[in-house]
Amino acid sequence: MTDSVGARVAPLWRRSPSPAYNARMRVLLQRVSRASVTVDCERVAEIDRGFLALVGVGHGDTAEAATKLAAKTAKLRVFEDEAGLMNLALGDVGGAVLAVSQFTLYADTRKGNRPSFTDAAPPEQGEAVYGAFVTGLRAADVPVETGIFGAHMQVNLVNDGPVTILLEG
């Protein structure tokens, strides 16, 4: 395979992460009053109050990193108490998590107008680490619903606040 000037290049799925690669797993949390996932016109998951967690996995990410981010997600105090302050965690408000795999969190847009996804983990690794994140949430007694890994999904949500927080670990 060659590029536009005739130099040989590896296919996208065989390229190494970019030199500026950030080896930290990414979880984008959106505090929601409700969220759902639909695949092929069928609702496959839904929650009421809690987090929509968009989970991105990079080449260097591990189950250990996923477990730590799951624990952080479970304990994150961004729900309002009776005084209107962000002091409560998921367990305090009876919240749940809708976890959706999202390799596009690793989009590199520094060059050109078409994002590169070479920093995202290959599907096998991504699915395993995403699974460890879900398992970690369940181990923390958080109710979890999931999208379907690798599927084309429609995600609906009502962002509460809005509150959106990026966790990296």
Q: Look at residue 26 and tell me if it is in a domain.
A: yes
Q: What is the pLDDT of residue 155?
A: 98
Q: Is 100 helix (H, G, I), strand (E, B) or coil?
A: strand
What CATH number is associated with residue 123? 3.50.80.10
User: Which pTM value belongs to this model?
Assistant: 0.86
Instruction: Evaluate whether 167 touches 72 at the Cβ level (below 8 Å).
Output: yes
- The H or E element containing residue 139 is helix 123-139
Q: Look at residue 96 and tell me if it is in a domain.
A: yes
Q: Any idea which residue has 């998951």 for tokens?
A: 45
Q: Look at residue 56 and tell me if it is in a domain.
A: yes
Q: How many domains does the chain have?
A: 1
Instruction: Evaluate whether 60 touches 119 at the Cβ level (below 8 Å).
Output: no
Q: How far apart are CA 90 and CA 19, in angstroms?
A: 37
Please identify every residue annotated as catalytic.
102-104
* Distant-in-sequence, close-in-space partners of 8: CB < 8 Å, separation ≥ 6: 1, 2
- Domain of residue 48: give its range: 21-168
Instruction: Evaluate whether 87 touches 77 at the Cβ level (below 8 Å).
Output: yes
Report the Cα 152 to chain-centroid distance in Å: 15
Q: What is the pLDDT of residue 17?
A: 52
Cα angle, residue 167 at apex, residues 164 and 169 outer, rounded to 5°? 175
Q: Look at residue 10 and tell me if it is in a domain.
A: no
Q: Look at residue 12 and tell me if it is in a domain.
A: no
Q: Where are the alpha helices (DSSP H) in 36-87?
A: 63-75
Q: What are phi and psi of 129, to 5 degrees?
A: -70, -40
Provide block-wise average pLDDT over 10 residues at a time, the chain (169 residues).
Answer: 51 50 83 98 98 96 97 98 97 98 94 93 96 98 97 97 95
